[in-house]
Structure 1
Amino acid sequence: MQLHEIKKNVESLDNKFDALVGSLDLPQRHETIERLNAETLADGFWSNQRAAQVVINELNVNRTLVNEYEAIKDALVSINETYEMIRLESDEDLLALYEEEYLSLATIFEAFEIKVLLSDKYDNNNAIIEIHPGAGGTESHDFAAMLYRMYTRYIERKDFKIEVMDYLAGEEAGIKSVVFKVSGPLAYGYFKSEKGVHRLVRISPFDGSGRRHTSFAAVSVTPEISNVELEIPDSDIIMETHRATGAGGQHINKTDSAVRLIHKPTGITAGSQSGRSQHANRDEAMALLKARVLLMMEEAHIAELDKITGVKSAIEWGSQIRSYVLHPYTLVKDTRTNYEEGNAEKVLDGELDNFIYRYLSMGEK
């Protein structure tokens, strides 16, 4: 890059950084860090490990944001000093250093910007993800498995943890349904962009005639909400049990310990098979069911406000959000942001950050 081009890019980053600082609210961040740190030192902090982990996650998120803010501020000072040196003494080595500093700063800033954008109510919570194939039999079941693999690879890249809560294999291949929990800082914030219907176009490996098929799969993303203040009467719940299964359809225990709960008034369902007993799975499923019912109530409130104000909600539930085309060309396109990438294999291997970044940036506009 030429000197003037790098300088222009640095100025753009500097302006965006200044704009983000207001959203960051540093004084409040420092107060939050002090308060949470004091909580971790209190007697009995680890007596409720789930609640303690929520506090630890929030503390880590705030510390990371403050540390990255300081690092970017220092990097901007350093890169501007390098520019002043180039103005005084034109040197190829200094120009190469200037470009190197800019590229490093741009990478760090993009990651920082995403974290600042992840400031909604539940963004710092763990995420419960559910994948269901659409009509189409084995082909759509295989697409659901492709999405599951894509997310597990992304989880590995983010150094998150995954716990399979419910798994139902397809008869011939793929997945009939899967529910899994993703644990880590800002897990829900990152994964909320995946909520909606995904579409695959390819030559089906299950079609002997080599025809092109279009398949769909729905992805549901719910934040894990601890200690939900919501009472659901037993009379409003239907409980179904079945034998837990793993990948390939094999039974993973000899009793009907897996649990599926149905909330009769809304039709909302939640299941779990990760616990060692039916009781443990019912508790896990109930916590998820309460979170989903609570979110539905909040969304109903937003919809009511939409009617009053005439404002359209940002998210269209159940709409197609992304297409993965593998034939006759390769392309992955997000229909909400219009962002696209030609290397579909890379995306299906878990490289989702660009899609997530565009979605989060769109929400700020």
Structure 2
Amino acid sequence: MLAPEKLHSLLSRFDQIEAELASGPEPTVFVKLSRDYAELEPIVRSIRELQKAEAELADTEAMLNDRDTDAEMRELAQMERGELVEKVEELTQAVRIGLLPRDKADSHDVILEVRAGTGGDEAALFAGDLFRMYQRFADNSGWKVEVLSASEGEMGGFKEITAAVTGQEVFSKLKFESGVHRVQRVPETESGGRIHTSAATVAVLPQAEEVDVDINPSDLRIDTFRASGAGGQHVNTTDSAVRITHMPTGIVVAVQDERSQHKNKDRAMKLLRAKIFEVERERAANERTEARRLQVGSGDRSERIRTYNFPQGRVTDHRIGLTLYKLDQIISGEATGEVIDALIMDHQANLLAAEGL
């Protein structure tokens, strides 16, 4: 059963936020209120729709219980009652899910990192396949992908590639992708037709905003150096590459893709902010009880989460025991959402059970 007082409290809080936004608050307050508004708006909409459907169902049942209702109206009311019962059940489930504890970072953009693991050149090629999969999934989702840094493999693909992904609810969709992805296939260079196994690591970090992470400039050491290309040759003769060290945490980021030192510094700060934000999120998670998981499974990046088996055309997500025989559609980004949606549904089911909703 949904607690009426909890629903009333949410509606009251939403009305309060609307009033505060309308009063023209200062920019930093406006940003926070806007985020709170966007977070509450879907659940408030579901609650209001549920209340409306429940009222309509009550009116219909009153009509059915009224002895003066004629046969024709009773028949129509009976049909409408069935539809309303189904609608109330669906909306009740939507409200249950909306009441689940929400990861504050779900609405954030992300920093996506894909790195080749074990497997040499084949691992770099697979890292390239994974990045393109996410890139196409992002395109299909209406998101924007901006490559921040990349190191290409000798035979193609990437030794590592880092990109910013921006759009609506990006982290909520991609956060379960962190972990080790394994591929089983016959490399093009394999004359004997033997299947090789290699791996790539994916990390999805929520991008931090100014209001999320307060970085003291005095805590930063900023070094500049000449960007270099393959084989160590200099891309240019100016010190445009930027390395930033956050001394309190020891986090180091470096960006050298742009010829402009200013652009490289901006990109490096964006990456640094995301990494510090993730450290703070992990610290906060460790301080809380383990009743609520931040990610499916342990979230440990050494954990193998998914296998892409090319000879059999299947993709298996080991965390939820999901196997789909549509590898081509998934790796192309067309059906990637099917795996992601299954992970989200499993996560929600576990949270519902933990919360007793």
Give the TM-score of the pair, scaled to structure 1: 0.69
User: 1:261, CA displacement in angstroms?
Assistant: 3.9
Corresponding residue of 2:68: none
Cα-to-partner distance string for 1:132-155 (whole Å, 9 max, x where unaligned): 110212211121122212212322
Distance change >3 Å, CA 256–CA 214, structure 1 → 2: farther
Distance change >3 Å, CA 118–CA 285, structure 1 → 2: farther
User: 1:117, CA displacement in angstroms?
Assistant: 4.5
Corresponding residue of 2:180: 197
Supply the distance in 2 between the matched residues of 1:310 and 1:136 (Cα, whole angstroms): 35
1:180 aligns with 2:163: yes
Distance change >3 Å, CA 258–CA 29, structure 1 → 2: farther
Distance change >3 Å, CA 124–CA 207, structure 1 → 2: same
Out of 334, 338, 361, the position equivalent to 2:317 is: 334
Q: Map 1:190-229 to 2 at 5 A.
A: 190-227=173-210, 228-229=213-214
Supply the distance in 1 between the matched residues of 2:128 and 2:58 (Cα, whole angstroms): 49
Out of 357, 360, 364, the position equivalent to 2:345 is: 357
Supply the distance in 2 between the matched residues of 1:185 and 1:20 (Cα, whole angstroms): 30
- Unaligned stretches of 5+ in structure 1? 1-14, 246-250
Cα-to-partner distance string for 1:278-320 (whole Å, 9 max, x where unaligned): 12321331242144134325534654x48xx899976342232
Q: Which amino acid aligns with 1:35?
A: E
Instruction: Report % sequence identity.
Output: 27
Whether contact under 8 Å (2:46, 2:94) holds in the other structure is no
User: 1:271, CA displacement in angstroms?
Assistant: 4.2
Supply the distance in 2 between the matched residues of 1:100 and 1:144 (Cα, whole angstroms): 49
Q: Kindly name which structure, 1 or 2, has the bigger radius of gyration based on alpha carbons.
A: 2
SS at match of 2:139: helix
Whether contact under 8 Å (2:115, 2:201) holds in the other structure is yes
Out of 306, 330, 339, the position equivalent to 1:323 is: 306
Distance change >3 Å, CA 82–CA 262, structure 1 → 2: farther
Distance change >3 Å, CA 300–CA 343, structure 1 → 2: same
Supply the distance in 2 between the matched residues of 1:73 and 1:241 (Cα, whole angstroms): 63
Supply the distance in 2 between the matched residues of 1:226 and 1:327 (Cα, whole angstroms): 40
1:26 aligns with 2:11: yes
Whether contact under 8 Å (2:292, 2:351) holds in the other structure is no
After superposition, the CA RMSD in angstroms is 4.6
Supply the distance in 2 between the matched residues of 1:192 and 1:330 (Cα, whole angstroms): 25
1:231 aligns with 2:219: no
Q: Map 1:240-255 to 2 at 5 A.
A: 241-242=226-227
Supply the distance in 1 between the matched residues of 2:139 and 2:348 (Cα, whole angstroms): 21
Worse-matched range after superposition: 110-119 or 330-339: 110-119
Whether contact under 8 Å (2:147, 2:162) holds in the other structure is yes
Q: Map 1:48-67 to 2 at 5 A.
A: 59-67=37-45
Give the TM-score of the pair, scaled to structure 2: 0.70
Supply the distance in 1 between the matched residues of 2:265 and 2:235 (Cα, whole angstroms): 17
- Unaligned stretches of 5+ in structure 2? 65-71
Q: Map 1:150-189 to 2 at 5 A.
A: 150-189=133-172
Distance change >3 Å, CA 74–CA 176, structure 1 → 2: farther
Supply the distance in 1 between the matched residues of 2:5 and 2:189 (Cα, whole angstroms): 52
Q: Map 1:278-293 to 2 at 5 A.
A: 278-293=261-276
Q: Which amino acid aligns with 2:48?
A: E
Supply the distance in 1 between the matched residues of 2:116 and 2:4 (Cα, whole angstroms): 39
SS at match of 1:220: strand
Q: Which amino acid aligns with 1:70?
A: R
Q: Which amino acid aligns with 2:209?
A: S
User: 1:218, CA displacement in angstroms?
Assistant: 1.0
Q: Which amino acid aligns with 1:357?
A: M
Distance change >3 Å, CA 331–CA 53, structure 1 → 2: farther
